[in-house]
Every structure is written in structure tokens, then in C-alpha cells.
Chains A and B, each alone.
Chain A
């Protein structure tokens, strides 16, 4: 009964590749932007704090699928031309995920004592240098488990990009399903692929987490 998978394997794996491409860009951008969002959420400058806090609260209270839709339909009005699904999805994901990663980083920065920052300042380091060499690396290590969990969630969320026509794994499964009507096998296979990737990812991260804990206690 799984012959439908075999016959369309290359086509489906092409979808998985798109899923990976979207996930990698969404994570790189979301984590990178999230580091800065987390800093901004702790800023004493009201011109930084309030706009970023409003952005975070807004995006965290809207379903991702609506953010993707909204972005896909509003961007053409702003930039004057239609956007291809892939770049639209990448930008929507980065903007959305950065709010979640931002809150994780904020929690990480809050584990760092004020005096540690003062110690860095007292050696003449600027705020930017202190953030780059002290705050971000420590928050990254301390929040590694949460960051990995959110990364896995992001990977799964990329399937939502099918609503704007991005031919990732779920979309390609539905395309094949429309032709061959083998829903259970096709969506079962897609679920299986997601499970393998996410479970492997969480196991690998667990291994490195334990290893990191052994050598470097922070």
C-alpha cells in the first residue's frame, strides 16, 4: 500500500528539502533577531523598550498562520509587487519566531548578575562588546534546552507555509494526494519524516547538552 510513496519519493523529498531550507533560514534569522529583541526587552530606553514590547506582545498573540497570510497579502501592497511564497514565508517566520526566541533570550539575560555586566564595563568594554562576548554567549548556553525546543517547534511550524502555496513536504503530499487519493499513506509518511527529524534533533541536542554540562559548569 506504500507504493505511492515509492513512486513519488523524489518529489516528496524535494519538499523536505524546501522544508529544511525554510527552517534553517527561519532559525538563523529568528535566533539572531531574537538575541537583539531580548536585549531590547530589558532596555531602560523607552524609545527601544516600548516599540519592541508592543511588537512582541502583538505577534505572540496572533496565530502563526495569520501572520503568514497577512504578510503574504500585505507585502505586495507595501513593496508594489507580488512576493514569491518562499521569501514571504522566510520573512514572516523570522519576524514571528524572533518574538519567541527573544523571550527565551530575555530570560537568559536575566540570569546574569548586574555585577557581571558591571565587571565587563569596568574593563572599558562597551555595551555592544559586553552583549556580544558576555551576555549573548552566557544566555545561549544557559537557555540551550529552551532554544532547542523552540527550534524543533519552528521546524514543525514550517508546514504552515503550505497555505501560501510553498511546495514543502506537506504541500507536496497534498499534491500527490489530489492525484492518487492516498491520504493515509501520504500524510502518515509526512508525519513519520517530521518525527524522525525532530526526534533525532532532540536526541543529538540532549547528548551535547549533557556533554557541555560535564566540561563547563555554568
Chain B
């Protein structure tokens, strides 16, 4: 379980996160949407300690992210993260991208890491690209490898930071299919995305953020059919065009 308790973050004078509260139960999929600059990505980065925050508390399985005694490296092992621009290691093959952390962090044998990677490549439909370099893969293929790379550490949570917004339209579905499958298999997921089809299919809750605050939250039907704020109505009309 991830508990976010009234966190506040400033970049200088800019108040990027304002009293953000949220609880993500195990097995849930939470979709975060909102206009750019609303603090969605920053929120994800606070959860795994990539970014510090000044006030409030985040607990991941009752471990405080803010506590200086917390081993953030250890904590991150159980929170996978997928980025907008994939961020595959360009000097390594798909297989090497996936096996690096299990081998170096978990100290798995080469064979064990390879077996796990093959299983994941099968799951994301990329077995035939195991030895390809990122530069020779399409965006959709790179993102599926990036998902496999995160899953290789057997995380309890997965965070997605706009995983399809850098993709050509015809590649979005192949990535969303993998994410839907993951959500249905019971993974606890936090997804920053504007893909409302995905939200409809798997989201247990949708959070709408604006200017660093959560301004609406609810089920897909609540949010989609009955938005409460003008900001959310405007946002929905823009992304549904």
C-alpha cells in the first residue's frame, strides 16, 4: 500500500504539489490525469524518492520515503517506473537492458536473469528482438522493453509517466495492451496518462490534478460522465476531441 499524506513541494517559489493526499491499495490501478505542469510527474518522482518534497509524508508499505534512514535504493527495487521517452540504455541490447538490474542489484546468475528476461519478453511480445539495440527498435517496441526491464525486478508497484505520449498513434495500442494485461493480472499501478480508453478498462480510481492539487477524484464513470469542476470539464472536452 502507498499512502500519500498531505505532501507539499516547492521549486523555489513555485508550489508544484499542494496538500496532495492519496491512498493506493494493493491490486489497484489509479490513473492520474490533468494538464501539463499540474504536478503529475513530480508526484510519481516523489513516491520513489527521485525528487525530494518539503512537507508531508509518503509511506510505501509503511516505510517512509522522507526518512533519511530509509534506504531509497532498496525501496526503489519494489517500485518499477516507465518513462515517457523509454530511457533504454542505448549501448545495451534489449536483453542486457532487462538483465542488468537483476544481475547487479539482486545478484542473480546470468542464467536466472536470462530466463526471467525471456519470460518477460514473451509477455510483452518481443522475444524476437532480444538482441536488438534500442536504436533499431520502434518507439512502441522500446516502451515494451522498458516495461519488461522494470518488471524484471519483480516490483510490487508500477508507475507509468505518460508512457504513450511520445508514441505514434499506431503504436499506442501495443503498449496499452501490455499495461491492461498487467493491471488485470493484479499489479498495483499508478499511471499518468490521458488514454481514457485505458482508464475506462482498468482504472479503479481516476485523479484529476490541476496546478499542483488534486481537484477531482472518483471512478471512471463519475469523472467522465459527471465532472464536478469547470477545469475538469474543459480538460475532458480537450482530450476527447
Interface residues of A (CB under 8 A from B): 113, 115-116, 118-126, 129, 133-134, 137-138, 141, 216-218
Contacts and interface: CB of A to CB of B under 8 A. Distances in A.
A118 B91 contact: no
Given A113-B87, A126-B73, 5 more contacts: A115-B85, A115-B87, A119-B88, A122-B150, A124-B76
B95 interface: no
Contacts of A125: 73, 100-101, 104-105
Contacts of B85: 113, 115
Interface majority SS on A: helix, strand, loop or mixed?
A: helix
Contact of B91 (A120, A126, A141): A141
A122 B81 contact: yes
Interface-centre pick from A116, A119, A122, A134 (highest chain B CB count, 10 A): A122
State which size class the interface on B falls in: 20 to 34
28 contacts: A113-B85, A115-B87, A116-B89, A118-B81, A119-B83, A119-B88, A120-B101, A122-B48, A122-B79, A122-B150, A123-B100, A123-B105, A123-B149, A124-B74, A124-B153, A125-B73, A125-B100, A125-B105, A129-B104, A133-B89, A138-B89, A141-B91, A216-B133, A217-B133, A217-B136, A218-B90, A218-B91, A218-B135
A141 B89 CA distance: 13
A93 B28 CA distance: 59
B80 interface: yes
B19 interface: no
Interface of B: 45, 48, 50, 73-74, 76-77, 79-81, 83-85, 87-91, 100-101, 104-105, 133, 135-136, 146, 149-150, 152-153
Contact of A124 (B83, B105, B146): B105
A137 B45 contact: no
Nearest to B48: A122
Interface-centre pick from B83, B89, B150 (highest chain A CB count, 10 A): B89
